[in-house]
Amino acid sequence: MSYLVLARKWRPRRFADVVGQDHVVRALQNALAADQVHHAYLFAGTRGVGKTTLARILAKALNCLEGVAQEPCGQCSACLAVDEGRFVDLIEVDAASRTGVDDTRELLDNVQYTPTSGRYKVYLIDEVHMLSRQSFNALLKTLEEPPPHVKFLFATTDPQKLPVTVLSRCLQFNLKRMPVGLIEDRLAEICSAEGFNAEKPALHRLALAAAGSVRDGLSLLDQALAYGSNELLDADVAVMLGSMDRDRVLGLLEAIAAGDARQLLDRIKALDEDVPDYERLLDQLATALQRIAVIQLAGADALEDEDALAGLQSLAASLDPAQVQLHYQIALTGRRDLSLAPDPRLGFEMALLRMLAFRLEAPAEALSGDEPAQSPGRTPGPVKGARAAPAAARTTLTPASAADPEDWPAYVAGLSVSGAARQLAEHTELIAFTPVEIRLRVAADNQHLLTDKLVERLTAAVRERQGSAIKVRVALADEPARGVTVAALEADAQTQDEQRRRESIEKDPKVREIVDMFQGEVVADSIKPTTNGPADQA
């Protein structure tokens, strides 16, 4: 007897068997119960989340001999024929292999004829976005005026490529990526039903590797069972996937956080003995860095189903948030360039050494309200808690659009903000500026400008210029200003301008002659700028 792969054997045959897509199942069942089934449906989502599965179940429910209902009976000849792929009135088409207009016209030639054995003639077109423009034009006429006995079911991984004219004539359902926990539970359920011995860490590792696709998870499960002789062991799965234990990945980041190149190289050497997949290893590093960034900026409570929380929290405390962002970018770049390296290990090693060589010399204490504020002109020091890189390798890095603005008034002048929000910006004094946060303060006599709405508008203007989700915090000053504000500079400029006008008037020969003749004096408050007066000429 031929072997049936798990992805096909355990494919849902009823709506009740579909997991993780309740929002779609509920809408379809309500439409079937009310006999209000639309003539065209579009199921969109990443691979392996149930697009064609839902389409087939819907086709089965429409043609079930027991009648149109929320669930197909699954026992009648029509239901069995659909399950076995031999139902004559379910026409399945792979648009990736039939993209031409002639193929589409040939397909639609039989639309006008009534179903052979079923209640409806159902056209299931997979990867519909692969159709040519001419094919869509040929299909559009039928979608506009479909025969009552025809239903179109489209599936796609890229709905943006469909013409708007087609999208507007379909009911679109966006299928979700499956969470890791749900995939893990599904794999455990199948292993239990099939009688396979499966370790929970192995199931979790497979669920992570599935990347949101139940079908990919089942395919990996098939592969792992073949590798382990129908036994699922975590060590076997790790070797099969080329993945590394989470603690060893975090160990690499610990060496980077300590700035210890020798320790880092020793750990890479130990990893290389297991012949790992270095591309996947960089993925794991990037994932760990993302989790660390979440802990730093949103707190550990924001993480779900994290089994290495303690190690990540420790790294979050020892790494500067801006440095984590830089490490993440280096990991992504290293992964992209891995194929260009002379050897995968050398490319991986160089990416991690790059994390050591390039250091953002921004003070970690700038993010803490307990530390003294840094003045705008002060040169930032090295990252707190990290060993300095060698002098030859030490490099100060700042994002191109987010350099520390020592001239805050000039920075404010370049912001696209107006009205009261600009007044707030002009009356603020810079306390600290990091790649993730700007701290400002405003004097007590301008407290009326310190509103949530104006701070939000100022934040939006800063983010537009920085190109990042930087935070802007504005506090009320409880001491005299130490820095420079735009308003203060403008006031000084106005005072100097008035002084210049007064001196120009007082020194003017004609004015002096009048003063001497009438023994008078120049009233300073009466001096006003004119278009061609002495003040303008001074």
Closest Cα to residue 308, out of 349, 249, 262?
Answer: 249
Between residues 494 and 123, which one has the greater pLDDT? 123
pLDDT digits (tens, 9 = 90+) for 162-190: 999 999 999 999 999 898 889 999 999 99
**The domain that contains 227 carries what CATH number?**
1.10.8.60
- Tokens describing residue 521: 């004096």
Verify that 302 and 428 share a domain, yes or no.
no
Of 367, 398, 418, which closes a domain? 367
478 and 493 within one domain? no
Determine the pLDDT at residue 65. 92
In a domain, 136, yes or no: yes
Q: Is residue 64 a part of any domain in this protein?
A: yes
Task: Let me know if residue 68 belongs to a domain.
Answer: yes
400 within some domain: no
pLDDT score for 137? 86
Residues 460 and 513 in one domain: no
Do 19 and 159 fall into the same domain? yes
Tens-place pLDDT, residues 141-159: 889 888 999 999 999 999 9
The domain of 417 spans 408-484
**Domains in the chain, number:** 5
* Greatest pairwise CA separation for the chain in angstroms: 126
Q: Render the burial of 80-91: b for 16+ CB within 10 Å, e for the rest.
A: ebbbeeebebbe
Q: Rank 209-218, 375-384, 439-448 by mean pLDDT and report only the highest.
A: 209-218
Instruction: Count CB neighbours of 437 within 10 A.
Output: 16
- If asked whether residues 49 and 162 sit together in one domain, one would say yes
Q: Are residues 44 and 153 in the same domain?
A: yes
- Other C-beta atoms closer than 10 Å to the C-beta of 273 total 7
Same domain, 24 and 160: yes
Q: Does 153 lie in the same domain as 75?
A: yes
Q: What percent of the chain has pLDDT over 70?
A: 83
Do 221 and 311 have their domain in common? no
The CATH number for 77's domain is: 3.40.50.300
pLDDT at 77: 93
Last residue within a domain, chosen from 447, 465, 484: 484
- Whether 94 is covered by a domain: the verdict is yes
pLDDT higher than threshold 90 for residue 59: yes
User: How far is the C-alpha of 235 from the C-alpha of 216, rounded, in Å?
Assistant: 20
CATH number at residue 477: 3.30.300.150
Residues 99 and 67 in one domain: yes
* Whole-number Å distance between alpha carbons of 118 and 65: 8
The per-residue pLDDT for 412 is 85
Mean pLDDT of the chain: 81
Residues 68 and 166 in one domain: yes
Describe the crossing of helices 22-33 and 51-63 by its angle, rounded to 10 degrees.
Answer: 20
Asked if residue 54 belongs to a domain, the reply is yes
CATH number at residue 305: 1.20.272.10
Is residue 276 predicted with pLDDT exceeding 90?
no
What are the structure tokens assigned to 136, written together? 């869509």
Residue 362 has pLDDT above 70, yes or no: no
Between 22-36, 62-76, 268-282, the lowest mean confidence (pLDDT) is in 268-282
- Residue 243 contacts residue 316 (beta carbons within 8 Å): no
Task: Tell whether 234 and 266 lie within a shared domain.
Answer: no
pLDDT for 515 equals 72
Domain boundary among 174, 191, 222: 174
Does residue 309 lie within any of the structural domains? yes
The tens digit of pLDDT for each residue in 186-237 reads 999 999 999 999 999 899 889 988 888 999 999 999 999 988 888 899 888 8
Q: What is the mean pLDDT of residues 513-531?
A: 69
Lowest mean pLDDT among 1-15, 374-388, 420-434, 480-494: 374-388
Q: What is the pLDDT of residue 274?
A: 76
pLDDT of residue 527: 67
- Looking at the predicted structure, is the pLDDT value of residue 533 above 70? no
Asked if residue 58 has pLDDT above 90, the reply is yes
